[in-house]
Amino acid sequence: MKRLLIVLLAMLICIPSVYARKKSKKSGVIKDNIYTDAEYNFTIKILENWEAKLQKPKKMIRLALTQRDHEIPPELMQFPSMAMVPTLNIHIGKVDMPPAVYVDSLVSLTYSSDVKKEVMKDLMALEENVTFDGLKTTQKDRIKIDEKEACQWQGSVNYTKKLGMGDTIPRVYSVGIVALKKGDLMMTCLIETESMFFTDIFKEVLEMVHTIEWPD
């Protein structure tokens, strides 16, 4: 009887810790500013001034980063909460096209796919009084990352905001995309920020992106 009580007590102690491990399971781990993905085994070094948020383990989005202490456009100093927080979201999904063609599909107003809907949903998750007017390309280049085929895109996302009495105003943010292909998997790094800060933000993002290691 005493032995049975000891076994039951041990089980009661172990169950909460097992439950906690299951509950806390995420897309990966961060140690010494290096994120390692649990599902796809890639790593990326995170700059000190960027905050990383782990995601759910089976989601297409693997990591979400926001810049700490980001700058505010002068015209929004009185309303800082209205400023776009610089973001970098990293997704991975199955795609049967090369990176340059895939990037074109993301920018297209007519092409649709499940991967595109997931990757672009934050750009298109709008308020009722805001209309998505599409993306405009500024520059697109074929590059290599970790010896793998990749594509780098820069441009803008355009919106129209409806005001009272039928008036509208345009709103434009800068966007960057880096797409990296391994086998049938495509990694998409999507950047969005206020346009006046894009050059510096994109430079920091590329610094992180070029630390990516994704073993074959």
What is the tens place of the pLDDT at every residue in 131-181?
Answer: 888 899 999 999 999 999 999 999 999 988 887 777 788 888 999 999 999
pLDDT at 126: 66
Q: Cα–Cα distance between 205 and 84 in angstroms, integer? A: 16
Give the pair of three-digit tokens for residue 32: 């010494």
Class of domain 25-209: alpha beta
- DSSP E strands, 68-208: 87-94, 130-145, 148-162, 168-182, 185-193
* DSSP conformation class of 183: T
pLDDT at 17: 45
Ramachandran area for residue 147 (φ above 0: left; ψ -120 to 50: alpha; else beta)? left
Global confidence as pTM: 0.84
Q: What are the tens digits of pLDDT across the range 15-53?
A: 444 444 444 589 999 999 999 999 999 999 999 999 999
Which helix (H) or strand (E) is 64 found in, with range? strand 61-67
Q: What are the tens digits of pLDDT across the range 110-142?
A: 999 999 999 999 887 667 778 888 899 999 999
Burial of 10 (0-12, 13-18, 19+ CB in 10 A): exposed
Q: How far is CA 126 from CA 120, 129, 163, in A?
A: 12, 8, 15
Confidence band of 1 (pLDDT split at 50, 70, 90): low
- Residue 8 pLDDT exceeds 70: no
Burial of 5 (0-12, 13-18, 19+ CB in 10 A): exposed
Q: Cα–Cα distance between 216 and 184 in angstroms, integer? A: 12
